[in-house]
A = this chain, B = another copy of it.
Amino acid sequence: MDTIRDDTCPSFEGTLELIGRRWTGSVVQAAGQGARRFGEYRSMIEGISDRLLSQRLKELESAGLIDRTVVPSTPVQILYQLTPDGQALVDALMPLAQWSRRRSGHSGATQLPAA
């Protein structure tokens, strides 16, 4: 019987915790469509607040998954896009997205138990 120790897979638990935060999946998915401005993310992700979108972008930036680029145009444009690591995450999430979609076809199986 293998022991699952905290120190053997802290990165996996950390990953699950990061992407499990509300809206993070949607932000990463939106970023997968290319470099976008803040307002474009807001339009793409229906229902997200400015405060949470800003927080999620900052978290993903500090995790090295999203790059924030200042374009020296007039007016200045700020673009957010996936880093190569972020793109690899989006790819790694595909089987999970497919699993979710298959499951949502089942009766009642999509119900999330209360925390």
Give complex CA distance A13, B43 in Å.
Answer: 18
Assess whether A95 is interfacial by the CB under 8 Å rule: yes
Contact B10–A16 (Cβ < 8 Å): no
Number of interface residues of A (CB under 8 A): 63
Assess whether A79 is interfacial by the CB under 8 Å rule: no
Assess whether A21 is interfacial by the CB under 8 Å rule: yes
Given known contacts A63-B112, A115-B21, is B95 in contact with A92 (CB within 8 Å)?
yes
Assess whether A50 is interfacial by the CB under 8 Å rule: no
Q: In the complex, which residue of chain B has the Cβ closest to the Cβ of A24?
A: B16
Give complex CA distance A96, B24 in Å.
Answer: 15
Q: Which residues of A contact B (CB under 8 A)?
A: 1-6, 9-26, 29-30, 33, 36, 40, 43-47, 58-59, 62-64, 85, 88-89, 91-104, 106, 109-113, 115
Given contacts A16-B19, A18-B113, 4 further A-B contacts (CB under 8 A): A13-B22, A13-B26, A14-B100, A19-B20
